[in-house]
Amino acid sequence: MQSYVAVLVSESHVSGDAPLFQESFVLVRAVGEDEARAKAEALGRAAQTSYLNEDGRTVTWTLRHVVDVAPVLRDDLGDGADLYARHFRNIEAYEAFEPLLSGEEL
């Protein structure tokens, strides 16, 4: 068994509000990448839910996509272990979708 990191994107929908998206990094143990992807998909689907918020409106969370499944960078999961890395060329695009970079609170 090997450790993999799966990147999942889920969507929260409340009628009348703009959707909210969540990117999750999930650790899965599997024999290979295909099994890891299947486990990640199953975990994402199992997390789908609907409930009433404090305003009495229905909140629905659905899995949108399994973005990536990759072996952890270091299988020694101690303090400071690298788990996952990705590379990109457009920092402006990253800043545009990452609210924490601008100090925005959700």
Amino acid 101: pLDDT: 74
Alpha-carbon distance 7 to 71, whole Å? Answer: 12
Amino acid 77: pLDDT: 80
- Of 47, 41, 49, 48, the closest CA to residue 6 belongs to 41
3-state per-residue secondary structure call for 30-71:
ECCHHHHHHHHHHHHHHCCEEEECCCCCEEEEEEEEEEEEEE
What's the DSSP call for residue 3? E
Q: What is the pLDDT along the chain (106 residues), one digit of tens a residue?
A: 999 999 999 999 998 899 999 999 999 999 999 999 999 999 999 999 999 999 999 999 999 999 999 999 887 888 888 888 888 888 888 888 777 776 776 6
Alpha-carbon distance 12 to 8, whole Å? Answer: 13
Amino acid 87: pLDDT: 81
Biggest distance spanned by C-alpha atoms of the chain: 45
Amino acid 106: pLDDT: 62
* Backbone φ/ψ region at 71: left (φ over 0), alpha (ψ -120 to 50), beta: beta
